[in-house]
Amino acid sequence: MVIGSGSQKQPVREARSLTATAEKRVLVWIAERLPHWVSSDHLTALGFVGYLAGALCYRLSAIDSIFLHGVNACLLVNWFGDSLDGTLARVRRCERPRYGFYVDHLLDAVGIAVLCGGLAFSGLVSPGIAATLLVAYLLFSAHIALAAATGGVFRIAYGGLGGTELRILLAIANLVALQWPRLDVLGTSLRLFDLLGFAGAAALGVMLAVVGFRTGRALDRADRSPA
C-alpha cells in the first residue's frame, strides 16, 4: 500500500464534552511546561502503558480488591498520555495529523481490548458481558473513524461524554465496586459491573443506530446534491 504525501484535507476535530473547555486549558498549560525531551510519541506510549497496567490491576483485583485503586491510577496515567500527546504537538507546531490519527486510535482500540480482557478475568463481570461491551465500543469506534473519513469531522464526544468523562465514570464504578461489588435487583444478586456493562453496551448500540442513520442520510444528501 502506498500512502501519498499530498496535502489532502484532514478531518476537523470536534470536542463538545462536559469537561472539554477546562480540560483544554489544563492540557495546554501542562504542554507548555513539559521538558523539551518529552515528545508526543513518548506520551502516546505512556497512555498505552496505562491501558496495559490497568488491565493487570483488574486481573490482580481478583486476588485483592485494593488493586482497583491501581486501576484508577492507571486511568489517570492513560488520560495524561492519551490526552496530552496531540496537545503537545499542536503547542510545539509539529503536528503529524495522519500519523497521529492512525497510531493514537489504533493503540486506543488495542488498549481498550486489553483493558476489557483484564476486567473479564477480574471476577467483577462475566466474560460475556465484557466481550459484548468491547464489541459495542469497537463498532462505535469504527463509526467515528468512518464518519471522520467521509464527512470531514472527527467527533470525539456524544451526549456530552468523551474519553475523559468515560474514564471518570469508570473510576467511580471501581470505587463503588470496592464496597458493593454486587447489588440486589428485584430480589436477585447481580454483579455491579454486569449491570453497568450491559447498560453501556446497550447505550452504545442505540447511539450507533441513531447516529449511523443520521450520518448515512447526511452523506446520501451530500452525494446527491449538485457539485
Say if 46 falls within a structural domain.
yes
Residue 85: partners with Cβ closer than 8 Å, 6 or more residues away:
40, 41, 43, 44, 47, 100, 104
Rounded to 5°, the CA angle 94-95-99 comes to 130
Say if 83 falls within a structural domain.
yes
Coil vs helix vs strand at 171: helix
Match 502506498 to its residue by C-alpha cell.
2
**What residues are paired with 154 via a beta bridge?**
13
What span, in angstroms and rounded, lies between the C-alpha atoms of 150 and 136?
Answer: 21
Q: Which amino acid is at 129?
A: I
In tens, the pLDDT along 127-169 reads 999 999 999 999 999 999 999 888 888 888 888 888 999 999 9
Say if 6 falls within a structural domain.
no
Q: What is the pTM of this model?
A: 0.90
CATH code (residue 203): 1.20.120.1760
Say if 205 falls within a structural domain.
yes
Say if 85 falls within a structural domain.
yes
Q: Tell me what pLDDT residue 156 has.
A: 82
Neighbours of 89 (CB within 10 A): 21
What span, in angstroms and rounded, lies between the C-alpha atoms of 27 and 179?
Answer: 33
Say if 56 falls within a structural domain.
yes
Q: What is the rounded radius of gyration, in angstroms, for the C-alpha atoms of the chain?
A: 19
The confidence band for 183, taking pLDDT boundaries of 50, 70 and 90, is: confident
Say if 100 falls within a structural domain.
yes
Say if 174 falls within a structural domain.
yes
Question: Does the pLDDT value for residue 180 go beyond 50?
Answer: yes
In tens, the pLDDT along 67-96 reads 999 999 999 999 999 999 999 999 999 988
* Structural domains in the chain (count): 1
Domain that holds residue 219: 12-224
What span, in angstroms and rounded, lies between the C-alpha atoms of 85 and 42?
Answer: 8
Q: Choose among 142, 143, 113: nearest CA to 130.
A: 113
